[in-house]
């Protein structure tokens, strides 16, 4: 599994600088960290770079973090969101959860808590990628088995109707009866 890319989005430049310096890159397998100070800047980065995790403030001038999350989901970009906010508004939490945010942390939050939340997201992404790879291998093996079944059938290696039905059942193939 390749290392992760992180985008930090916060209109407070000092916050992004502190986060960028304090995040445990090695433990979190983070290769690159990008920073943006508003939603537009974040969108420009996301259009160019495949970012695994977005660590984002919710309340920013002009557009907010929830609008960025919605923009990402509408474009079917594969990024996990972790929100930081000093606002305890229910609408924010609801909007974050509704759009599949991984977590929602209230400021002020310490660096160990942020690193732990990021680690949870990294572990989730890693598991999803591993499951996807296993699924790809499984599907490849199944396609190969189906091709072999048809080859044997066409070459006359499966003789009786019972043998053919057994092989169809063993491979888990959908069975349609035509007669």
- Say what angle helices 65-74 and 90-98 make with each other, to 10 degrees: 20
pLDDT digits (tens, 9 = 90+) for 75-128: 999 899 998 877 666 666 666 666 677 777 777 788 999 999 999 999 988 888
Segment 154-178 mean pLDDT: 74
Q: Which residue is associated with the tokens 């970009």?
A: 77
End-to-end alpha-carbon separation of the chain, Å? 49
Cα torsion angle, 36, 42, 46, 47, sign: negative
If we measure between CA atoms, which residue out of 83, 86, 84, 88 comes closest to residue 70?
A: 83
pLDDT digits (tens, 9 = 90+) for 8-39: 999 999 989 999 999 999 889 999 999 999 99
pLDDT digits (tens, 9 = 90+) for 124-149: 888 888 887 888 877 777 778 778 87
Segment 65-75 mean pLDDT: 92
How far does CA 62 lie from the centroid of its chain?
27
Residue pair 39/27 in contact (Cβ under 8 Å)? The answer is no
The CA distance from 57 to 104, in Å, is 10
The CA distance from 55 to 16, in Å, is 10
Report the pLDDT value the prediction gives residue 72, as an integer from 0 to 100. 95
Report the pLDDT value the prediction gives residue 88, as an integer from 0 to 100. 67
Segment 149-164 mean pLDDT: 77
Query: Which residues, at least 6 apart from 58, have a Cβ–Cβ distance to it below 8 Å?
Result: 64, 65, 66, 83, 84, 85, 87, 92, 96
Whether 156 has a pLDDT exceeding 80, the answer reads no
Report the pLDDT value the prediction gives residue 177, as an integer from 0 to 100. 60
């Amino acid at each position: 599994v390749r290392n992760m890319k992180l985008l930090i989005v916060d209109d407070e430049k000092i916050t992004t600088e502190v986060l960028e310096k304090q995040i445990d890159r090695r433990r979190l397998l983070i290769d690159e960290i990008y920073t943006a100070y508003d939603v537009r800047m974040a969108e420009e980065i996301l259009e160019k770079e495949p970012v695994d995790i977005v660590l984002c403030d919710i309340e920013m001038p002009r557009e907010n973090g929830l609008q960025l999350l919605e923009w990402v989901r509408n474009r079917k970009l594969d990024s996990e969101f972790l929100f930081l906010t000093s606002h305890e508004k229910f609408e924010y939490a609801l909007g974050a959860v509704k759009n599949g945010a991984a977590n929602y942390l209230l400021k002020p939050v310490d660096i160990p808590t942020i690193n732990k939340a990021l680690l949870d997201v990294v572990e989730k992404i890693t598991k999803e990628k591993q499951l996807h790879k296993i699924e790809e291998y499984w599907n490849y093996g199944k396609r190969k088995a189906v091709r072999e079944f048809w080859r044997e059938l066409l070459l006359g290696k499966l003789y009786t109707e019972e043998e053919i039905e057994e092989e169809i059942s063993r491979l888990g193939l959908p069975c349609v009866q035509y007669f």
